[in-house]
A = this chain, B = another copy of it.
Amino acid sequence: MALSVGEHMPDSSRADILEAAAHCFMERGYAATSIDDVARRLDATKGRIYHHYSSKSDLFADVFRFGMEMNYRAIEPLRRSGEKAVERWRQMALIHVVQMITTRQFQRVVWEGVEMHLRGATTPEQRTAFAELIERRSRYSDIFRDLLAEARDDGDMRFENLGIANQLVFITLNSPIFWYSPRAGETARDIEEIGRQVVAFALHGLGVRKGNP
């Protein structure tokens, strides 16, 4: 239910399928999730799913795409703020972490999708279908990476190897998809507080002096 996205949303039936699929893929992983599992969660049958998606990997890819687009839309407003690179990075990182927490089901699918691609555990047809998604994911990652390089040139960050630093930071920011679990009565401020600590850890790791405002 409650996909907190009005615009850019496909019809509600597909949305329900996406949500259910994301949950199942999150809980059991791609390979261990059957189409019947997803259908069962919808109180429906395979017929409904195969009416909208041509294959299991097609469904997975759509969950992947949707999760990623949510991230793009979340950080979009911040990309052209006049701030310095380090500050833009901080703001975007915080938004990103909050996204990881609030849309956890989808983000784990994104993660597994990247993993599947890196491992090459896909059929040739799937690889071409995935290629554009992976490409788009890489460009998303580049946004953060470029800011890191810029911030270092500004003298606001100090680290050695850019590639390694970017990997470490990215996994740090994504890590809530693994260890976060929702608490009863948790507010948006609580989540933002967690995000603040994650970003603070990353910033210190990147050699940024001052704490968070």
Interface residues of A (CB under 8 A from B): 27-32, 115, 119-121, 159-161, 164-165, 167-168, 171-172, 175, 178-179, 194, 197-198, 200-202, 204-207
B197 touches A121 (CB 8 A): no
Check A179/B175 contact, CB under 8 A, given A29-B29, A29-B121: no
Q: Cβ of A28: which chain B residues have Cβ within 8 Å of it?
A: 31, 119, 121
Total copies of this chain within the assembly: 2
Which among B29, B161, B167, B179 is the interface contact of A31 at CB below 8 angstroms? B29
Q: Cβ of A121: which chain B residues have Cβ within 8 Å of it?
A: 27-29, 32
Which among B30, B31, B168, B179 is the interface contact of A172 at CB below 8 angstroms? B168
Q: Cβ of A165: which chain B residues have Cβ within 8 Å of it?
A: 197, 201
Which among B31, B32, B167, B198 is the interface contact of A175 at CB below 8 angstroms? B167
